[in-house]
């Protein structure tokens, strides 16, 4: 997960989005995505939210597909970590369930000039140890992100930061080396988390793996039974709205069938990332309700090695042309998705002018199968019989069936595609450990934006970027990324991003497959959880309470 320059990492794998153009989830869906279909007779309707809670709870239980390797906010870049941590640690800004940017630990953010951001902090905010947050804690917390020894997954966010300084007891000023349109947006992600300096320093290398996280959220870390569960306890000294449940227990259920059965029997009350193969069972069970919301997510094939056959664009094109995307959406996503030739979601472009959106989607990867053309490309490349290795996992059908679809596509066009099974708990290592990717040419990735800006994904192909695992490098592309980053005006930035989108599509730097909404299941005793992917950075569990 390290790029060529130490400590310059791009914020990560599956990510989420938020923009200074405030857009409701409903508007995003209506204007951009359109409702995905749930089969010939079952349209999947996207819900803006679930019904509000009617009362408090002693506790509720939640299913996750894997145990977080750590809860240090520096490494909060994947679903298991963020689903838990969003309720414990808070950032300077906040992402709302409607996917809008709102004040967080900073009650105000101002931009007096293009290279300065001033954050005025809330007064009287307590950490979980009872101490009061100061500007020094903010400076320290952001400073941990830039320390190369910490190998933060979010360090790329700070690449244009010149200094972070205390300019008042409750004021922090960030000076940038150059204008950066992305930095203020990322302050609502773990890049902007604030923890108590004293607590983090006292924990040392054990921070994030046990004890207190010394953050400010509505819940504090309770018992962590390794390999089994994490318990969160309501923090009664919380500065904001009191959590409706006194306790939350996250159960690690790596097997999709076990996860589904636990939801059906009531052993757990709810969960995100519902196994797609379980959509039908859960809908018809009467045990609760399956909701879908804006996910800002695309399912792709991440190209991890261009030194082998995939180094030839014709082989990448052939594999894309042979892939049965419609079949994958029907089976792998249980119909709850839409075929796409774009690496970016349409919702990510919602703030751009109409002409920019049209340009961005005018030159996309073809999605219709063309086996004859694909075979011809393989022959032209001299790649007949060449071997490709694709990662698969029992983490869910979105991974396993996409890997199988790639294998079937390869067989039809003369490629020898082999599958390498990765355990669910080890799948995260594909994003963090180069050794875990050794011998792999591709792996399925559901990528979520961390800000509602196409650059969030498109910057991954800049030289040395965190997810540029295949080592793509083009100076012209890098220059466009730099120009888009420095451009605060959404229309002008969007025009540059449309050029990046065209290059990424023409070069098939990843292979796009489908857009995919967020799914959440709630049984009959609980309600209030957001349906959108905001749950990764928003303290969603505080809203969950009694349904009756």
Q: What is the CATH number of the domain that holds 314?
A: 3.10.105.10
Mean local confidence (pLDDT), 127-152:
96
Q: At a CB cut-off of 8 Å and minimum separation 6, what does 501 contact? A: 342, 343, 344, 360, 361, 363, 454, 458
Model confidence pLDDT, tens digit, residues 35-81? 333 333 344 788 989 999 999 999 999 999 999 999 999 999 889 99
> Picking from 11-15, 249-253, 254-258, 387-391, which range would have the lowest pLDDT averaged per residue?
11-15
**pTM of the predicted model over 0.95:** no
Average pLDDT, the chain: 90
Residue 21 has pLDDT above 80, yes or no: no
447 closest CA partner among 77, 130, 111:
77
Q: How confident is the model at residue 363 (pLDDT cuts 50, 70, 90)?
A: confident
Q: Which structure tokens are listed for 329?
A: 């959406």
pLDDT of residue 277: 87
Q: How confident is the model at residue 26 (pLDDT cuts 50, 70, 90)?
A: very low
Mean local confidence (pLDDT), 90-114:
94
Mean local confidence (pLDDT), 516-527:
96
Model confidence pLDDT, tens digit, residues 190-203? 999 999 999 999 99
- For residue 492, tell me if it sits in a domain: yes
- For residue 287, tell me if it sits in a domain: no
- For residue 379, tell me if it sits in a domain: yes
Per-residue CA distances from 1 to 10, 11, 422, 465 (Å): 9, 10, 17, 9
pLDDT of residue 63: 98
pLDDT of residue 37: 36
pLDDT of residue 105: 98
Per-residue CA distances from 150 to 140, 177, 243, 506 (Å): 13, 22, 32, 36
d(CA 136, CA 138): 5
- For residue 60, tell me if it sits in a domain: no
Mean local confidence (pLDDT), 312-333:
96
Model confidence pLDDT, tens digit, residues 457-496? 999 999 999 899 999 999 999 999 999 999 989 999 999 9
326 HSE (CA, 13 A, CB side): 7
Per-residue CA distances from 243 to 237, 248, 383, 533 (Å): 11, 10, 58, 20
468 closest CA partner among 306, 236, 332, 343:
306
From first CA to last CA, the distance across the chain in angstroms is 46
Burial 479-500 (b: 16+ CB within 10 A, else e): ebbebbbbbeebeebbbbbbbb
pLDDT of residue 27: 30
Residue 11 has pLDDT above 70, yes or no: no
Collapsing DSSP to helix, strand or coil, 410 comes out as helix
> Picking from 17-21, 102-106, 199-203, 527-531, which range would have the lowest pLDDT averaged per residue?
17-21
Sort strands 247-252 and 545-546 into parallel, antiparallel or unpaired. unpaired
Mean local confidence (pLDDT), 328-356:
91
pLDDT of residue 4: 26
List the domain range (segments joined by +) for residue 302.
295-517
Residue 1 has pLDDT above 80, yes or no: no
High-pLDDT (> 90) share of the chain, %: 81
- For residue 81, tell me if it sits in a domain: no
d(CA 147, CA 143): 7
Q: At a CB cut-off of 8 Å and minimum separation 6, what does 439 contact? A: 389, 420
Contact call for residues 132 and 221 (beta carbons, < 8 A): no
d(CA 481, CA 484): 5
Residue 213 has pLDDT above 50, yes or no: yes
Count of domains observed in the chain: 1
């Amino acid at each position: 997960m390290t790029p060529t320059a130490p400590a310059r990492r791009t914020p990560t794998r599956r990510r989420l989005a938020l923009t200074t153009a405030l857009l409701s989830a409903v508007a995003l869906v209506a204007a951009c995505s359109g409702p995905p279909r749930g089969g010939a007779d079952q349209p999947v309707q996207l819900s803006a939210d679930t019904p509000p809670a009617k009362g408090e709870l002693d506790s509720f239980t939640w299913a996750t597909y894997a145990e977080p390797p750590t809860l240090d906010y520096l490494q909060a870049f994947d679903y298991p970590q963020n689903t838990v941590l969003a309720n414990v640690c808070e950032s300077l800004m906040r992402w709302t369930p409607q996917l809008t940017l709102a004040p967080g630990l900073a009650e105000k953010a101002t931009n007096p000039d293009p290279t300065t951001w001033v954050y005025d902090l809330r007064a009287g905010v307590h950490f979980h140890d009872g101490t009061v947050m100061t500007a020094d804690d903010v400076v320290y917390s952001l400073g941990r992100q830039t320390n190369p020894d910490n190998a933060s997954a979010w360090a790329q966010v700070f690449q244009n930061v010149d200094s972070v300084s205390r300019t008042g007891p409750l004021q922090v000023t960030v000076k940038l080396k150059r204008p950066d349109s992305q930095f203020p947006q990322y302050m609502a992600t773990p890049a902007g988390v604030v923890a108590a300096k004293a607590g983090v320093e006292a924990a040392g290398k054990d921070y994030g793996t046990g004890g207190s996280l010394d953050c400010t959220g509505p819940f504090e870390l309770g018992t962590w039974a390794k390999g089994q569960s994490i318990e969160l306890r309501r923090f009664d000294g919380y500065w904001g709205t009191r959590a409706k449940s006194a306790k939350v227990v996250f159960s690690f259920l790596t097997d999709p069938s076990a996860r589904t059965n636990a939801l059906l029997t009531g052993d757990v009350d709810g969960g995100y990332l519902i196994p797609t193969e379980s959509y039908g069972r859960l809908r018809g069970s009467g045990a609760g309700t399956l909701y879908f919301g804006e996910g800002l997510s695309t399912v792709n094939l991440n190209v991890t090695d261009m030194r082998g056959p995939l180094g030839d664009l014709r082989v990448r094109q052939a594999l894309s042309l042979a892939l049965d995307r419609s079949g994958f959406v029907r089976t792998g996503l249980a119909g709850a998705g839409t075929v796409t030739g774009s690496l970016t979601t349409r919702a990510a472009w919602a703030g751009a002018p109409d002409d920019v959106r049209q340009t961005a989607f005018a030159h996309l990867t073809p999605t219709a199968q063309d086996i004859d053309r694909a075979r011809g490309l393989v022959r032209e490349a001299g790649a007949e019989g060449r071997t490709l290795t694709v990662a698969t996992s029992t983490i869910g059908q979105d991974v396993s069936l996409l890997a199988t679809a790639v294998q079937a596509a390869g067989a039809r066009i003369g490629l020898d595609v082999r599958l390498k099974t990765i355990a669910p708990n080890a799948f995260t290592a594909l994003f963090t450990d180069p050794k875990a990717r050794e011998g792999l040419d591709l792996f399925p990735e559901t990528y979520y934006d961390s800000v509602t800006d196409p650059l969030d994904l498109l910057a991954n192909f800049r030289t040395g970027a965190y997810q540029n695992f295949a080592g793509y490098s083009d100076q012209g592309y890098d220059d466009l990324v730099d120009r888009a980053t420095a451009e605060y005006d959404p229309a002008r930035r969007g025009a540059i991003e449309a050029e990046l989108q065209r290059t990424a599509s023409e070069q098939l730097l990843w292979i796009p497959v489908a857009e995919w909404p967020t799914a959440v299941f709630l049984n009959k005793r609980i309600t209030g959880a957001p349906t959108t992917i905001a749950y990764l950075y928003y303290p969603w569990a505080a809203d969950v309470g009694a349904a009756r």
